[in-house]
């Protein structure tokens, strides 16, 4: 009887085994996902300054652009079905996909694209992206085709096409003076894969959650996951507690030192993602004569142990950097590296007559101490302390000036610092002009080191007009060689973005992003449920 039972069981299960062997698992519709974010939504609007991750993440989901990035950082079509660049590099023609709808059912046309660009160009609306769109002429060909005309060639212009598009029929009623105050900033009606279903508030009326539903008329096909909810928290500790209490299934971000506080680690997947950003100590040579001395700048570079920073600050979740042209995002080979060499740093200072004559650990010259001040924010306090220790080890007297984020914005605007410990987010297809050309030394320019070199300026001006990536890379390499020789900063490290989605989420292939919010570029392809389908040869 036992043998018969085994044979019977085998015969019954055989068809199922054959069927399973002939099929594969494929994405299916259904399921829900809840992710926790730090910050409360204020401006779910791709044209406004977005101060927190919640705004950036939701804007990305609700408002697609003409183009988007894939998981390798390459540009793909999004609202646009295709685009062409003229031979002279001055005309960009975009053709929209057919039958794109806003979440209220209205059609999306080139009128919406033109309207969005006009707002970006209008000073009264106060968009931080205005500089990227100045001087661009927009021409409507028909409801699906629009032309953008440039006065001068600009190789990185195509990246502007990732900017989200707003619905004209809703926003054209909003005057510039109340643009940032419109209720549409908290009740978005977009064209993305998910539409707003419900806003959750606490007893004080503060927004605590957004519940999103799959948009069935999404132009690239109905999203697989039925509902996605975002819950908002004021701090990283609150976010971690929410996860540990099973209130959220994934975390939008976590810092390296907090990973140890996560419980139920099997429920999530830690994804270390490369971002085109770096942190550096920028030298303001106009603020102190000490930093105008190249030997001082060289000594600071050689006295910096970046390995210690990566191990202690990033917990090895990032890379040491030697240049603003990050190797992970360009084809450059760093021409000059200041490898940690404490004794060589001391020798440079000794040869420049900076000596510790009273054995107090601080070098002096002509009755002046070798003293400098680092200005930074609390988030970088540990990095500042390590730099103070390392630089102090070769004879510098280092003070640390800690400022709030609001305070340091004013400090940066006025360039009132000696050494600024800060980070820069470059975006993919990085254009170094905005960060290092001498015309960008004053606010709103981003030349934080107030770097000024005529040879470098000329290379930067020529490079941004070269459309061929290989030829442009040669210019970048030439610029990098001059920049690193001048040593206007100490380039420290590039941290990974640590994203922690629920392990049940599939289809979220992520390796390189321009910004953390770009992780949602392929959100419609994420899935939880699966079904069996026949294999195809």
In whole angstroms, give the CA distance from residue 225 to residue 62.
Answer: 15
Q: Residue 231, CB half-sphere, CA atoms under 13 Å: how many?
A: 20
- pTM of structure: 0.86
The answer to whether residue 385 scores a pLDDT higher than 70 is yes
Q: Could you give the count of Cα atoms lying within 13 Å of 536 in the half-sphere of its Cβ?
A: 2
Residues above pLDDT 70, as percent of the chain? 94
Homologous superfamily in CATH for domain 277-495: Dipeptide-binding Protein; Domain 3 (3.10.105.10)
CATH node for 23-43+195-273+498-537: 3.40.190.10
Please compute the mean of the pLDDT values over residues 479-501 and round it to a whole number: 96
Digit-coded pLDDT (tens) for 137-171: 999 999 999 999 999 999 889 999 999 999 999 99
Length of the chain counted residue by residue: 537
Average pLDDT over residues 333-349: 88
Instruction: Look over the chain and give the mean of its residue pLDDT values, rounded to a whole number.
Output: 92
pLDDT mean over 239-259 = 94
Q: Which residues contact 389 (CB under 8 A, 6 or more apart)?
A: none
Report residue 332's pLDDT band, with 50, 70 and 90 as the boundaries: low
Question: DSSP 3-state assignment of 170?
Answer: helix
pLDDT at 408: 93
H helix runs in 318-468, sequence order:
342-351, 381-392, 405-414, 433-436, 454-463
User: Interhelix angle for 294-302 vs 342-351, to 10°?
Assistant: 160
CATH of domain 64-186: 3.90.76.10
Per-residue pLDDT reduced to its tens digit, 279-302: 999 999 999 999 999 999 999 999
For range 349-367, the mean pLDDT: 96
Show me where the domains of the chain are located: 23-43+195-273+498-537, 64-186, 277-495
- For residue 373, what pLDDT is reported? 99
User: Residue 30: enclosing H or E segment and its boundaries?
Assistant: none
Residues 6+ apart with CB under 8 A from 526: 33, 223, 224, 225, 505, 506, 507, 508
- What pLDDT score was predicted for residue 426? 84
Sign of the C-alpha dihedral, residues 276, 277, 281, 283? positive
3 band by pLDDT with thresholds 50, 70 and 90: very low
Q: Which two tokens stand for residue 271?
A: 């994804």
- C-alpha 209/C-alpha 223 separation (Å) is 21
């Amino acid at each position: 009887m036992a043998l018969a039972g085994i044979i019977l069981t085998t015969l019954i299960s055989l068809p199922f085994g054959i069927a399973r062997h002939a099929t594969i698992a494929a994405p299916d519709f259904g399921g829900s996902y809840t992710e926790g974010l730090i910050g409360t939504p204020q401006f779910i609007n791709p044209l406004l300054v977005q101060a927190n991750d919640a705004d950036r993440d939701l804007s990305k989901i609700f408002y697609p652009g003409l183009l988007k990035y894939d998981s390798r950082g390459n540009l793909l079509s999004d609202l646009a079905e295709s685009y062409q660049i003229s031979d002279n590099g001055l005309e960009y023609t975009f053709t929209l996909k057919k039958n794109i709808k806003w979440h209220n059912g209205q059609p999306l046309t080139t009128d919406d694209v033109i309207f969005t660009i006009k707002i970006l160009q209008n000073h009264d609306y106060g968009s931080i992206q205005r500089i990227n769109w100045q001087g661009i002429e927009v021409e409507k060909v028909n409801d699906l085709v629009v032309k953008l005309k440039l006065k001068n060639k600009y190789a990185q212009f195509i990246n502007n096409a990732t900017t989200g598009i707003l619905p004209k029929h809703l926003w054209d009623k909003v005057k510039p003076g109340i643009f940032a105050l419109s209720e549409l900033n908290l009740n978005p009606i977009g064209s993305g894969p998910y539409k707003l279903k419900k806003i959750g508030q606490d007893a004080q009326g503060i927004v605590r959650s957004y519940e999103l539903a799959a948009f069935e008329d999404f132009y690239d096909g109905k999203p697989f996951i039925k509902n996605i909810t975002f819950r908002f928290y004021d701090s990283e500790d609150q976010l971690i507690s929410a996860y540990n209490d099973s209130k959220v299934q994934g975390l939008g971000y976590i810092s390296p030192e907090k990973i140890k506080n996560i419980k139920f680690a099997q429920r999530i997947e830690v994804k270390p993602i490369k971002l085109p950003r770096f942190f550096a100590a920028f030298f303001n040579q106009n603020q102190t004569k000490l930093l105008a001395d190249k030997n001082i700048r060289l000594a600071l570079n050689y006295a910096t142990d970046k390995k210690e920073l990566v191990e202690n600050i990033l917990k090895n979740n990032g890379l040491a950097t030697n240049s603003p042209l990050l190797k992970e995002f360009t084809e450059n080979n760093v021409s000059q590296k200041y490898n940690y060499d404490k004794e060589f740093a001391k020798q440079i200072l000794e040869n420049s007559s900076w000596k510790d004559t009273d054995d107090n650990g601080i070098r002096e010259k002509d009755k002046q101490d070798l003293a400098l001040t680092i200005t930074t924010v609390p988030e970088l306090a540990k990095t500042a302390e390590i730099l103070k220790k390392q630089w102090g080890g070769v004879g510098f007297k280092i003070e640390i000036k800690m400022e709030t984020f609001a305070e340091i914005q004013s400090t940066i605007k006025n360039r009132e610092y000696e050494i600024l410990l800060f980070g820069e987010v470059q975006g993919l297809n990085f254009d170094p002009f905005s960060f290092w050309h001498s015309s960008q030394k004053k606010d709103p320019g981003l030349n934080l080191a107030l770097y000024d070199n005529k040879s470098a300026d000329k290379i930067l001006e020529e490079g941004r007009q070269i459309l061929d990536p290989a030829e442009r890379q040669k210019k970048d390499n030439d610029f990098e060689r001059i920049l690193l020789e001048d040593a206007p900063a100490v380039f420290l490290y590039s941290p990974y973005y640590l994203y922690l989605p629920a392990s049940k989420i599939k289809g979220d292939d992520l390796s390189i992003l321009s910004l953390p919010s770009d992780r949602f570029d392929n959100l419609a392809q994420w899935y939880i449920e699966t079904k069996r389908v026949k294999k195809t040869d």
